[in-house]
Amino acid sequence: MKKRKVGMALALVLATGTLLGACGKSNDNKGGDTSKGGDNEKGFSVAMVTDVGGVDDKSFNQSSWEGLQNFGKENGLKKGKGGYDYLASKSDADYTTNLNALVRQNFDLVYAIGFLMPSAVEEIAKQQKDHKFAIVDAEVKLPNVASILFKEQEAGFLAGVAAALTTKSNHIGFIGGMEVPVIERFNVGFLAGVKAAKPEVKVDVQYAGAFDKAELGQAIASKMYSSGTDVIFHAAGATGVGLFKEANDRKKKDPSKDFWAIGVDRDQADMGADVVLTSALKRVDVAVKDLSTKTKDGNFPGGEVALYGLAEDGVGLAPINDKAANKADIEAAVKDWVGKIKSGDLKVPETKDELKTFSVK
């Protein structure tokens, strides 16, 4: 009996020592915030799930990731768990799995990048009510989900103005990824811009049916250039990479001819110094960084829609290529239209029905 009492007393002493040691260790590292480079106390963390285009699509996903990287670096976060990170989706089946994976890693805010993910976000957000989510290019009406939308038609309009004032053949093209509202807004805005700047210009419109098929983008671009178009605008994610390849290949073979391409989402000037006229900017990077900052500061707009247009610097037009013959005229016209849109004097149509009655007179 005495041995048993001595053993119990010894165990109590050891347990107490362990607890005190743990408390001392916690006090010694107080203030170790991961947002400041520490490792022990949890700081704000954020991650994103890409759509099937991949994080290096040179367009939509890449812009989102650049915004997340900028936020992370400005806040002293490291890439990885507890900081900022991403998971790439190879198919639609990965969306739910990837969102769940980031939730399990306890990221404070998880982004779903793209209009293909609302059902996956809704499913996971309902299961994980204590976690915060954000979706780009779609709306999910749940209190723990913030939705980010853009006025793509305004960026498309400016691209249309630039294309119409650049073409020599009066024949231009538009390549869309899929026929969905987001891309329709780009397309309708583009057509409206062409109509406003030079109504006699003919516009060919074709959809690839995918955002991750560069070979389809190149095939469509090849047919368009062969039919006489000299400016093509794409809103097709990684599929649009094919447009740039086709334009560059043709320009190398015949430097005397124009094979202009207009990029989308981010400034895609790096896709061809001799062929990229400009890009219709959709500042997903700005929106992602902005919402991340608000959430970190305790102002998460759950259940709300954040809409970014020209007035919010959420969309715009990249610089005009210096090699454009009438660069100054294009820039002057774009500046004029930007002023009218921002002031409210011009409302750019966003649907095909609105385009039918659109007039700048």
Written as tens digits, the pLDDT of the chain (361 aa) is 444 443 444 343 334 443 333 333 333 333 333 333 333 346 899 999 999 888 988 888 999 999 999 999 999 999 999 999 999 999 999 999 999 999 999 999 999 999 999 999 999 999 999 999 999 999 999 999 999 999 999 999 999 999 999 999 999 999 999 999 999 999 999 999 999 999 999 999 999 999 999 999 999 999 999 999 999 999 999 999 999 999 999 999 999 999 999 999 999 999 999 999 999 999 999 999 999 999 999 999 999 999 999 998 999 999 999 999 999 999 999 999 999 999 999 999 999 999 999 998 7
What is Dmax (Cα atoms) for the chain?
105
Distances (CA, A) of 298 to 5, 120, 128, 195: 53, 25, 19, 45
Give the pLDDT score at 29.
Answer: 32
Which pair of structure tokens corresponds to residue 246? 């086709």
Give the pLDDT score at 42.
Answer: 62
Q: Which of 309, 20, 1, 258 is nearest to 152 (CA)?
A: 309
Residue 209 backbone class (left: φ over 0; alpha: ψ -120 to 50; beta: rest): left
Sheet of strand 109-113: strand arrangement:
84-87, 46-49, 109-113, 132-136, 145-150, 305-308
The hierarchical CATH code for the domain 152-281+326-356 is 3.40.50.2300
Give the pLDDT score at 111.
Answer: 98
In the chain, where does DSSP find H-type helix? 2-28, 60-74, 94-104, 118-127, 152-166, 181-197, 214-226, 241-253, 284-296, 327-343, 352-356
Read off the amino acid at residue 291: L
Distances (CA, A) of 265 to 139, 202, 280, 353: 19, 24, 6, 25
pTM: 0.84
* Length reported for the chain: 361
Specify the DSSP element, H or E, that contains 315.
Answer: strand 315-317
Q: Please count the other Cβ atoms lying within 10 Å of the Cβ belonging to residue 358.
A: 16
Distances (CA, A) of 53 to 134, 232, 251: 19, 21, 27
CATH architecture, domain defined by 46-150+286-308? 3-Layer(aba) Sandwich (3.40)
Measured distance CA(287)–CA(360) in Å, rounded: 30
- Strand duo 260-265 + 231-235: pairing: parallel
Which pair of structure tokens corresponds to residue 32? 């170790």
Specify the DSSP element, H or E, that contains 205.
Answer: strand 202-207
Any residues with CB less than 8 A from the CB of 112 and at least 6 apart, and which? 48, 49, 95, 99, 118, 120, 121, 133, 134, 135, 136, 138
Read off the amino acid at residue 118: P
Measured distance CA(34)–CA(85) in Å, rounded: 14
Which pair of structure tokens corresponds to residue 77? 């976060």
Read off the amino acid at residue 105: Q
Measured distance CA(155)–CA(269) in Å, rounded: 16
Measured distance CA(46)–CA(86) in Å, rounded: 9
Q: Which of 225, 275, 282 is nearest to 57 (CA)?
A: 282
Domains 46-150+286-308 and 152-281+326-356 share a fold: yes
Give the pLDDT score at 10.
Answer: 35
CA 20 to chain centre: 49
Q: Please count the other Cβ atoms lying within 10 Å of the Cβ belonging to residue 335.
A: 11
Domain parsing of the chain, residue ranges: 46-150+286-308, 152-281+326-356
Distances (CA, A) of 353 to 150, 185, 234: 19, 12, 22
Which pair of structure tokens corresponds to residue 285? 């990077």
Give the pLDDT score at 179.
Answer: 95
Q: Please count the other Cβ atoms lying within 10 Å of the Cβ belonging to residue 227.
A: 12
